[in-house]
Structure 1
Amino acid sequence: MSTSPATLHYATLHYIHDPLCGWCYGAQPLVSAALAMLGNRLELRLHGGALFAEAQELTPAMAEHIVRADERIEEISGQPFGEAYTEGLLAEQGTVLHSLPPIAAVLAAGQLHPDAAYPMLVAIQHAHYQRGLRVVEADVLAELAEELGLDAARFGDAFASANGSATIEHVQASRRLLGEVGGQGFPTLVLEVQGVRQVLPHSQDYGRPDAFVDRIAARLPAVH
């Protein structure tokens, strides 16, 4: 997760997301490809917008709606949805959807190491959509942090500090940004170059990460 001191960022990719948003999971390969290919020219900033700002118990009707949406997401993006999620988590009684704990976990990971925030988000998405884990629970989030190599005690302290007013303020700021740029929901990807922000169209790039990378690269300043 280390970043070279010589790394220069010429632009910022603002990613307004939610860890429990299926379309954000579908967009994960796009963001990961942009970091892999353009990371020395691009800084990623995460903005959790809280799709489920209040804890909400999953009903059969909600689960049916989510399954249909996920089938469409998998078809378009190629992102897999595991049986432990589709036949387990979504089918179990008492499953709760709540965005604030996983957002707090991403913030906590970023406090421990700036480069750990995005891997934590990816780990949460993978745990939710493929492993069928209850990522709204603090102990599950702590296990994911440990799997990333973060110190358990330090993560626990950072999570406890973030999981409250800090996360609520972060969500409020993320939603303000979404309104300022005219975003249409989650995910919204915004490229900022020399103080000028523009929303990146990405829906046509699901399943085509190279096209998304090319879209960003064409907007970046020339390297001299």
Structure 2
Amino acid sequence: MPTQTTLHYVYDPLCGWCYGAEPLVNAASRVLPVLMHGGGMMAGANRQAVSAQLRDYVMPHDRRIAEYTGQPFGQDYFEGLLRDTGALFDSQPPIAAVLAAQQVADAGLAMLARIQRAHYVEGRRVSEADVLNLLASELGLPAEAFAAALATVDSDSHIRTSRAFLASVGGQGFPTLVLERDGRLQVIDIGPFLGKPQAFVEWLEQQFDFNAAESVVSGPACGLKSCDPER
């Protein structure tokens, strides 16, 4: 694929459909550059403490995502984290961790995947700095450099810029994947490819020419404030 072709990935670490799309993005990263845009679905005023109401809300969505994509959700998540009323779901710290990993080791995508597994399989509190530093260590990132970057990255500005990009391409939620070639942007419908990363790569390799007017909103997605598209 030509070097001027780039895949933009608008994501949120606490978006279940983004976790469902992780194998697609990982496979795509082997054939073209991926630029990551953290959207802050549960940041700021939208962050939520874990409660029985939150658990009852997210579990049906998560089970659908698991069935649709084949991604694993662990008992430590369903019966551990989702019952941990001391935990807070806040997208901003893990987005900052992805930015820090990218800054110190070009490892943003690997950090996101590790955060998603820690959250959805291992039931860990990925909105806490101690956990994020430990996950970075597990990836082999330099501890002092990562901790310093995590404390100083401007995640507020990044989230605002990501939201503006999402709006500019007509995206409605997370994940939104956008193919860019020669300055032209195409929003990808990833619905047919969920659970089929090799088919997604094969499709990407065919996209040497496209018409930006053919862009579509991309498949099942979390909304801008939650995984309920109506919110």
Normalised by the size of structure 2, how large is the TM-score? 0.87
Query: 2:13 matched to which residue of 1?
Result: 19
| Structure 1 residue identity aligned to 2:4 | Y
- Deviation (angstroms), 1:8: 7.2
Q: Distance in 2 between matches of 1:35 and 1:194?
A: 19
Runs ≥4 residues deviating over 4 A: none
Q: Distance in 2 between matches of 1:33 and 1:53?
A: 28
| Structure 1 residue identity aligned to 2:41 | L
| Structure 1 residue identity aligned to 2:14 | L
Determine if contact 2:21/2:194 at 8 Å carries over to the other structure. yes
Determine if contact 2:133/2:143 at 8 Å carries over to the other structure. yes
1:39-87 per-position Cα deviation (integer Å, ceiling 9, x unaligned): xxx1110000011012321221221111100000000000000110011
| Structure 1 residue identity aligned to 2:18 | C
Question: Are 1:129 and 2:120 counterparts?
Answer: yes
Query: 2:146 matched to which residue of 1?
Result: 155
Matches within 5 A, 1:125-204: 125-162=116-153, 166-204=154-192
Structure 2 unaligned runs (5+)? 210-231
- Deviation (angstroms), 1:172: 0.4
Out of 28, 47, 60, the position equivalent to 2:52 is 60
| Structure 2 residue identity aligned to 1:213 | V
Q: Distance in 1 between matches of 2:202 and 2:133?
A: 36
Q: Distance in 1 between matches of 2:37 and 2:92?
A: 12
Q: Distance in 2 between matches of 1:35 and 1:92?
A: 34
| Structure 1 residue identity aligned to 2:20 | G
> What is the root-mean-square deviation of aligned Cα atoms in Å?
1.4
- Deviation (angstroms), 1:91: 1.3
Across the two proteins, how many residue pairs are aligned to each other?
207
Normalised by the size of structure 1, how large is the TM-score? 0.89
1:153 is paired with a residue whose SS is: helix
1:214 is paired with a residue whose SS is: helix
85-94 vs 75-84, which deviates more?
85-94
- Deviation (angstroms), 1:214: 2.1
Out of 79, 84, 95, the position equivalent to 1:92 is 84
2:40 is paired with a residue whose SS is: coil
Q: Distance in 2 between matches of 1:111 and 1:62?
A: 33
Structure 1 unaligned runs (5+)? 1-6
1:144-178 per-position Cα deviation (integer Å, ceiling 9, x unaligned): 1111111111111000001xxx1010000000010
Q: Distance in 1 between matches of 2:196 and 2:38?
A: 24
| Structure 2 residue identity aligned to 1:100 | Q
Query: 1:4 matched to which residue of 2?
Result: none
| Structure 1 residue identity aligned to 2:196 | R
Out of 175, 179, 193, the position equivalent to 1:205 is 193
Query: 1:3 matched to which residue of 2?
Result: none
Query: 1:104 matched to which residue of 2?
Result: 96
Q: Distance in 2 between matches of 1:220 and 1:86?
A: 42
Q: How many percent identity over aligned positions?
A: 49
| Structure 2 residue identity aligned to 1:13 | L
